[in-house]
Structure 1
Amino acid sequence: MKAIVTTLLAIAILAIPKATLASGNEGDTVIIELNNKSKILIYTTDKEALKDLEQYDVNKMIQDLNSALNSKKIEKVELQDENGNKYMKDTTLILGDGDAKTKIKIGNLELMVDADDWDELEDEFDDDLPVRRYDYEERKIDRTRHYFNVDIGMNNWLDGGEFPDAEGQPYTVKPWGSWYFGLNSVNRTWVSGPLFLDWGFGFSWYNWKMEDPNIVVQKGPDNIEFIDATLADPNFSGIKSRLTAPYVNVSFVPMLDFAKGRRKVKNLERGSVSFRTYKKQGIRFGVGGYAGYRIGGNTKVVYREDGKKQKDKTKGNYYLENFRYGIRAQVGYKGLDLFATYDLNNVFAGDRGPAGSDGLNAITVGITL
């Protein structure tokens, strides 16, 4: 160990023997003699300040200080947790000579490794090191916090404000199986009070699965067509038919978060490896907008013909609109987040939608992980 910073432990013990009090003009000093080799020195400005020290975790101070002094890797001891709180109860202490060298964060999971090399990490796992657990609630509000999330939902589309199945249209969608997937890189910026802004970009995939598996999607000369394949081939027996449209998107959603972005943290620590899970608090909701640009398109048909299972996947634009834009609503409570999106533009460009339709608008509901 190169150096140890001498540390003054500020603690309050109301009934400890051998305590002496020395008073001065600027404050009071309490000296607590524990044994012939150890003393605790407390300096306070007044008796009220001494009483306030009851909220500090004395046992945790001493345990972590002792652990730090026994470590050959620690060059200094910082008696505070990662948020700057100096040993308030139910906080987590992180000891080290710098930031974690490796940090992997996915959604509400975070893995940190602060080892100089893999050999050191391997030696740690060979040793019987204890696993320590700390649970605490964040007190600090970051101005901007970045994270990744995944949207999983079900798709449909509205025809003139109604679902197509109301009229039995051939382009009726089967919601269960019409999956929406979104991979998002999101920044949450704190504005004031409970007001935050969620903004970022991501990729999404619309999948519309036909209610009737015999309906295939084709690009006609003037518009998109939904055709019953059994009319042309009586041996055709549809299993699944769907249309896919991928987009790259940007979003901007003002949010009211009444927990002010604070989260509960569970931290597991073993040597230089720390694993954390974050759980959101309180209720939050917001409404905003998004815009996207199409980067592909395809159809997929799975069917049986003459008893043999076959699959056809065909790429194409299928008159799909290049741009999408719409409204996104989000609501969450503690660990659960729900979302809904509605495209203000039509799925198909211009008047290229299916014959007899008033224009199809995509709608999605789902959860955010």
Structure 2
Amino acid sequence: MQRAFLPFSLLLALVLGLSSQAQATTLARPATVKDTIVVRLPNKAVITLMVRDAAQLRQLKKYQLDSLTSRLATYITQAEAAAKNATTNQVTMEFYPDKDQPGKNMPEQIRITTHKTAAGTSSSNKVEVMMDKASKNTGVSFKIGGKTDAERKARELNRDSVRLKNFEKPHTKSHLIFDLGLNALVNQKTYLARDGQPESLDLRSGGSRYVNIGLNWDPRLGGKHSPVSLTIGPEFAFNNYMLSGNNKWVNNNGRTDVVRETDGRQYQKSKLASSSVNLPVMLRLQLRDSHYRPTFLVGAGGFVGYRIKSWTKLKYTSEGTTYKDKEDGSYNMENFLYGLQGTIGYGDLEFFAKYNMNSLFKAGAGPDTQVLSFGIRLIGVN
């Protein structure tokens, strides 16, 4: 293909004639562009010639390109002046050089769109000029700056290739998870307090927090493109059960009760907390779009666990001094844990729910209730 015909003066004039604020859109890009020449200048400007064949490229000799370049600079100056006085962020102006200078093979129409930019910011300049006399089947497009469609498509294909490579290997992935949520008591049955009166157990929702940290493995089930995997791995959970009102947890005579404070103290915090180690086993479905980006995901399964430690904590102020009383003990809580859990999400957003099928306390040694934990997964994998 002949490439030497384009004079350096044209390249220099095109670069110097363009304002940093101007952008012109093509009138009608040829339906089938087969050949592309990209010229990169030292100041990082880019000139792209897009033609269908060599014959169309040779026709450029008949256009007055130097004159066109000077005219472009004039048009852009006019467009900038109009944009400064405009009330909108975008101004489009159309020029007809072929009518101004008939018989000189000038473009029939040039459309220049000028965008206002915020102070202190830079814009990517792009000028596309469709030089076409009357036929819509022939033409040459000039583009100054910006990215060509071919370059953008190549960049996207490269990103897709990287995502696909990461998706296909390794067959088993490991990842850290971090869950943050709340605890609620469910299926609670009325129990008799120490004075023989029925009493219900009320938690302070905002203070009854659930935190879970774990290391999960996700072996893929099926082929290398299968969206289904198995999730297993150790997790460490911390549950807080903070009482509402001026109540406290009391462990006495092999029984755990909620007792109202009567000596005048006003509790700022009154909670029972526990830590446990759990082993989840879940099936996970992770769908992806055509570019291998993660979309909808859902996981469901169960878990087993063991309570490691439990304690109570009271916070109150007396005579201007703040006290924090902490007492370790089993508080008759169940040691072995089991239940159901699941996750659901889209993209990077994922939520979890965990239902303890075992009672919070041993039978007859405390309130008869179960625990539901729910919240958001802050760290996970897609």
Does structure 2 retain, via aligned residues, the 8 Å contact 1:154–1:178?
yes
Q: Does 1:153 pair with 2:181? A: yes
Where in structure 2 are the equivalents of 1:257-336 lying within 5 Å? 257-259=286-288, 264=293, 281-336=294-349
Q: Give the aligned residue type for 2:236.
A: F
Cα shift readout 1:21-56 (whole Å, capped 9, x = no counterpart): xxxxxxxxxxxxxxxxxxxxxxxxxxxxxxxxxxxx
The 3-state SS of whatever aligns with 1:321 is coil
Cα shift readout 1:28-86 (whole Å, capped 9, x = no counterpart): xxxxxxxxxxxxxxxxxxxxxxxxxxxxx9989xxxxxxxxxxxxxxxxxxxxxxxxxx
Separation in structure 2 between the aligned mates of residue 262 and residue 216 of structure 1, nearest angstrom = 55
Does structure 2 retain, via aligned residues, the 8 Å contact 1:223–1:319?
yes
Cα shift readout 1:200-259 (whole Å, capped 9, x = no counterpart): 1110100011111x21111121311111112xx1x2111110110100111111012222
The answer for the alignment partner of 1:184 in structure 2 is: 214
Q: Give the aligned residue type for 1:141.
A: E
Once the two structures are TM-superposed, the CA of residue 90 in structure 1 deviates from its matched residue by 3.2
Q: Does 1:344 pair with 2:350? A: no
Q: Does 1:227 pair with 2:259? A: yes
The equivalent position to 2:240 in structure 1, one of 207, 211, 231, is 207
Separation in structure 1 between the aligned mates of residue 331 and residue 354 of structure 2, nearest angstrom = 22
Structure 2 residue ranges without an equivalent (≥5): 1-32, 38-148, 191-197
Q: Give the aligned residue type for 1:296.
A: K
The answer for the alignment partner of 2:374 in structure 1 is: 365
The answer for the alignment partner of 1:241 in structure 2 is: 270
Q: Give the aligned residue type for 2:231.
A: D
The answer for the alignment partner of 1:216 in structure 2 is: 248
Greater helix percent: which structure?
Answer: 2
Q: Judging changes above 3 Å, is the alpha-carbon distance between structure 1 residues 260 and 251 closer, same or farther for their aligned structure 2 residues?
A: farther
The equivalent position to 1:250 in structure 2, one of 272, 276, 279, is 279
Does structure 1 retain, via aligned residues, the 8 Å contact 2:254–2:332?
no
Aligned length: 226
Cα shift readout 1:134-177 (whole Å, capped 9, x = no counterpart): 79761133321111010100011124479xxxxx9452111111
Separation in structure 2 between the aligned mates of residue 256 and residue 16 of structure 1, nearest angstrom = 43
Structure with larger Rg: 2
The 3-state SS of whatever aligns with 2:201 is coil
Q: Judging changes above 3 Å, is the alpha-carbon distance between structure 1 residues 321 and 218 closer, same or farther for their aligned structure 2 residues?
A: same
The 3-state SS of whatever aligns with 2:156 is coil
The answer for the alignment partner of 2:125 in structure 1 is: none
Structure 1 residue ranges without an equivalent (≥5): 1-12, 18-56, 61-86, 93-133, 163-167, 265-280
Q: Judging changes above 3 Å, is the alpha-carbon distance between structure 1 residues 367 and 262 closer, same or farther for their aligned structure 2 residues?
A: farther
Structure 1-normalised TM-score?
0.55
The answer for the alignment partner of 1:102 in structure 2 is: none
Structure 2-normalised TM-score?
0.53
Q: Judging changes above 3 Å, is the alpha-carbon distance between structure 1 residues 185 and 91 closer, same or farther for their aligned structure 2 residues?
A: farther
Separation in structure 2 between the aligned mates of residue 171 and residue 363 of structure 1, nearest angstrom = 15
The answer for the alignment partner of 1:24 in structure 2 is: none
Identity of aligned residues (%): 26
Q: Give the aligned residue type for 1:155.
A: N
